[in-house]
Structure 1
Amino acid sequence: MFDYASRADPYPLYAELRETPVARQHDGSYVISTHREITDVLNDPRLSSDVRNLSRAMPSPEAGATSSFIHRDSPEHDRLRRMAMRQFGPPHTPGLVTGLEPALADTVGGLLDGVTDKERIDIVDDFALPLPVTVICHLLGVPREDEPRFHLWVNDIMDSVDYEAGADPKERLDKGVRARNDLRQSLGELVEQRHGRPGDDLLSRLANDDGPDGRMTDADIVATAKVLLIAGHETTVNLITNGMLTLLRHPDVLQRLRGEPDLIVPLVEELLRYEPPVHIIPWRAAYSDITVADTVIPQGSQIMLMLASGSRDPHRFHDPDRFDPDRHDNQHLGFGSGIHLCFGGPLARREAQIALTELVRRLDRPTLVADPPPYRRSPVLRGPIHLDIEQGGG
């Protein structure tokens, strides 16, 4: 799974993994690769998302920093998630994502205005990479003059995710650590400025809300904002880039989308199944011994969930290796499942829908320069590091 040679096409490996739904590895961890078992585990209250419940220590890039709710368990997870969702989506703020659409459309249009007259475009660097940070900064209420710093920090953090000891200069890792600290400090200062000054941005709402669960601490607000900026950024970049790559590999679907823009909604759902932005949840911990598919997993064991494998499980999906935007009953695992279902999923979906629709509409006969393109090292957050296309092709 971690061999870079598998990155461009890991799906044959996933098919092999599914022959043993729960497979114990040499290091004592367990890999789960089938849809039913992954879904069961993600909805099992005996599974922990808190790294402290693992029997072996896991390194942390931010020792001492407050963990976000996605790395906590019930009831603390549930309380913090409720507090965040009061300001992020329905039923309390049902218009948040749709209210962002004008700004999102302007950002997409502005990025495309800068590249559509070029013969050669890198979908990642020229478009998909800057888009999510700009949108999330707008959502959080980051001042426009501070956005360039946030772009640099997020890029340095994501670059450090691909760090390989012995192969990469340590400065790459150090830059990521500094960026995490600088980002946390800047967000903390912004939250302090919001106290007693209610506004429409998410930081203001979280800093001044006294709902049924009380008020979030500043540290928890910062941790929540970082989840949106970092996790939300990378998943959206990969979703857009994998989506464009898939459309270029399926020109009949690309052409159909030009004439049927409403197709984009089921198409993005199929992309989340067929070429998802997140392939692996790299760990869960068992609170106690549990049995999954007749395999006993001991308490404290690391469990790795192969989401992308589960979404291509032939026992759950008909003809799973075919890209089919008309697919029905598409219960993919692209955003996970259970109480940790992706917090920013509705925003990522809408960003991808608008971005891919406009790319298809405005690019002139785009063709791939290289197939497969170069991929990032990470097997967890899988996507091309560059996606070069040429316009005006035959």
Structure 2
Amino acid sequence: MAAGTLFQQINDYANRHNPYPLYAQLLKTPIIREPDGSYVISSYRLVTQLLSDPRISSDARIRGPEDKAARAAASSEFPAGFIRTDPPEHDRLRRMVTRQFGPPHTPDLIDSMKQELATIVNKLLDTLQGRTRLDIVDDYAYPFPVTIICKLLGVPQEDEPRFHEWADAIVMGLDPHPQTSADHPVMDAVEARNQLGHYMAKLILEHQQHPGTDMLSKLTTDQGPDGTLPLGDLISTSVLLLIAGHETTVNLQTNGMLTLLRNPSILEQLRNDPDLAIPLVEELLRFEPPVQFNSQRTVAADITIDGVTIPKGSPIYMMLAAADRDPARFPDPDRFWPERPDNQHLGFGSGIHYCFGAPLARLEVQIALNTLAQRLINPRLVEDPPPYRQSAVLRGPRHLLVDIDGIRPAQGQAHSTPLSKKA
């Protein structure tokens, strides 16, 4: 992609390894109208304001039939997932899913998984004994959350090669200016979502006939205050949970290890003080977030902010990663500082669409980074910057090669399983 507007440059793969100087330029003009009529919002103050504004819709269909996102939504065989809906429909669907994932219906689910998570990451490292070079992505950061979300949902993990391709395509479909390479072609996002939807529909039928203790079984049989999820919504929700349950967590782990290797003194601090993982992950969510910006929000009614009127139907991009490096909100924003006070970052979003899986993601990454810090002997980057994934929205390394002098045996789990202190 040739150089264009700041937003177009942010989406250009050539800048994937370091978009932050572009975000700093973006912050000088916190509201920018793009040539296509969309608006880019970058300051912390405005992003937090709009994330809680009911006039900002998550339903792309209101943009009109000529819009790409609206056409994609209309051509899907299945309803939008609940993150693509607005109240009151969003609230009803989210309540029904939350019953199976956290308080008040299942308050101990995440906490009860601590030991199992630690066991999984230690087993992953055990299988790598004898290696002197690891790919943190393929060997560790990807298989860990995939194992968890498959078990949690009740999806056969041996089907991972099938849904991996679909997930890649759906993720690329989030980008305003998707780019693919000749050696990494990606199928159409709508087709991928439809194929994954049919796969999940078949799986849901099996769970209806032979229910177990997994989330899919519970969602198909639960009779809560809002009733049972209709089949279409159940399919869309299961697609959402499967993809969101691992894609962002892979990036957060990998961005975290890359940041630690670039800051060896902090890696040493973590090795000596495993409890540092709790604030460290919060700072990581601010400093190198897995979701860089919201790509499918629309203005549902004319809205005026800071003297600029954004007309109804306009796509709006809220630049979470820029807002989290806004010097008006975060002193010394380009410094990675785990002990940063008052770290109210936007790494999980804000408002009614605050990340559904945040408690589990926090715990997974705390444990994953702690285990790497404790067990890898003299880890060092092979390539910096590493190659990145194509997506601008879900940004993270495609590979992260690390040379090591060995892997220490796993010790007692008490120090490698901190419990996230945020809800």
TM-score range (shorter-chain normalised) is: over 0.9
% identity of equivalent residues: 53
Cα deviation digits, residues 275-318 of structure 1 (max 9, x gap): 00000111311111101222110000010110000001111111
Contact (CA 8 Å) 2:179, 2:390: kept in 1 or not?
no
Structure 2: gaps spanning 5 or more residues? 1-9, 407-423
The reply to whether residue 49 of structure 1 matches residue 58 of structure 2 is yes
Report how far residue 161 of structure 1 moved.
4.0
Contact (CA 8 Å) 2:24, 2:322: kept in 1 or not?
yes
Match of 2:219 in 1: 206
Match of 1:15 in 2: 24
For normalisation by structure 1, the TM-score amounts to: 0.93
Match of 1:4 in 2: 13
Report how far residue 224 of structure 1 moved.
1.5
Within the candidate set 154, 164, 174, 2:164 is matched to: 154
Q: 1: CA distance between counterparts of 2:253 and 2:396?
A: 9
Match of 2:4 in 1: none
The reply to whether residue 172 of structure 1 matches residue 186 of structure 2 is yes
Within the candidate set 143, 152, 158, 1:139 is matched to: 152
Moved more, 372-381 or 382-391: 372-381
Match of 1:256 in 2: 269
Contact (CA 8 Å) 2:153, 2:242: kept in 1 or not?
no
Report how far residue 231 of structure 1 moved.
2.1
3-state SS in 1 of match to 2:295: strand
The one-letter code matched in structure 1 to 2:67 is A
Match of 1:39 in 2: 48
Cα deviation digits, residues 213-262 of structure 1 (max 9, x gap): 11111221221121121122110000000000000011111001111111
Q: 2: CA distance between counterparts of 1:337 and 1:15?
A: 21
Q: 1: CA distance between counterparts of 2:102 and 2:400?
A: 32
The reply to whether residue 244 of structure 1 matches residue 254 of structure 2 is no
Match of 1:105 in 2: 118
Moved more, 60-69 or 114-123: 60-69
Q: 1: CA distance between counterparts of 2:219 and 2:180?
A: 42
Contact (CA 8 Å) 1:68, 1:224: kept in 2 or not?
yes
| Pairs within 5 Å for 1:274-293 | 274-293=287-306
In the superposition, relative to structure 1, how do residues 322 and 93 fare at CA in structure 2: closer, same or farther (>3 Å)? same
Structure 1: gaps spanning 5 or more residues? none
Report how far residue 179 of structure 1 moved.
5.2
3-state SS in 1 of match to 2:110: helix
In the superposition, relative to structure 1, how do residues 181 and 158 fare at CA in structure 2: closer, same or farther (>3 Å)? same
Report how far residue 95 of structure 1 moved.
1.1
Contact (CA 8 Å) 1:132, 1:232: kept in 2 or not?
yes
The one-letter code matched in structure 2 to 1:84 is V
Contact (CA 8 Å) 1:116, 1:363: kept in 2 or not?
no
In the superposition, relative to structure 1, how do residues 63 and 101 fare at CA in structure 2: closer, same or farther (>3 Å)? same
3-state SS in 1 of match to 2:391: coil
Match of 2:283 in 1: 270
3-state SS in 1 of match to 2:29: coil
Cα deviation digits, residues 26-70 of structure 1 (max 9, x gap): 111100001110011110001100010114422428622221100
The one-letter code matched in structure 2 to 1:158 is D
Match of 2:402 in 1: 389
Report how far residue 121 of structure 1 moved.
0.6
Within the candidate set 108, 132, 141, 1:95 is matched to: 108
Q: CA RMSD in A?
A: 2.1
Cα deviation digits, residues 197-216 of structure 1 (max 9, x gap): 65421112111111111111
Match of 1:339 in 2: 352
The one-letter code matched in structure 1 to 2:328 is H
Report how far residue 184 of structure 1 moved.
2.1
The one-letter code matched in structure 2 to 1:309 is A
Cα deviation digits, residues 124-172 of structure 1 (max 9, x gap): 1111111111100100122xxx312134312443156448678537963
Q: 1: CA distance between counterparts of 2:114 and 2:184?
A: 40
Match of 2:38 in 1: 29
In the superposition, relative to structure 1, how do residues 148 and 178 fare at CA in structure 2: closer, same or farther (>3 Å)? farther
Match of 1:189 in 2: 202
Match of 2:308 in 1: 295
Q: 2: CA distance between counterparts of 1:239 and 1:304?
A: 21
The one-letter code matched in structure 2 to 1:28 is G
The one-letter code matched in structure 2 to 1:31 is V
3-state SS in 2 of match to 1:172: coil
Contact (CA 8 Å) 1:273, 1:333: kept in 2 or not?
yes
Q: 2: CA distance between counterparts of 1:245 and 1:166?
A: 24
Report how far residue 345 of structure 1 moved.
1.1
In the superposition, relative to structure 1, how do residues 366 and 167 fare at CA in structure 2: closer, same or farther (>3 Å)? closer
Q: 2: CA distance between counterparts of 1:160 and 1:195?
A: 26
Within the candidate set 58, 64, 67, 2:68 is matched to: 58
Q: 1: CA distance between counterparts of 2:99 and 2:265?
A: 41
3-state SS in 1 of match to 2:245: helix
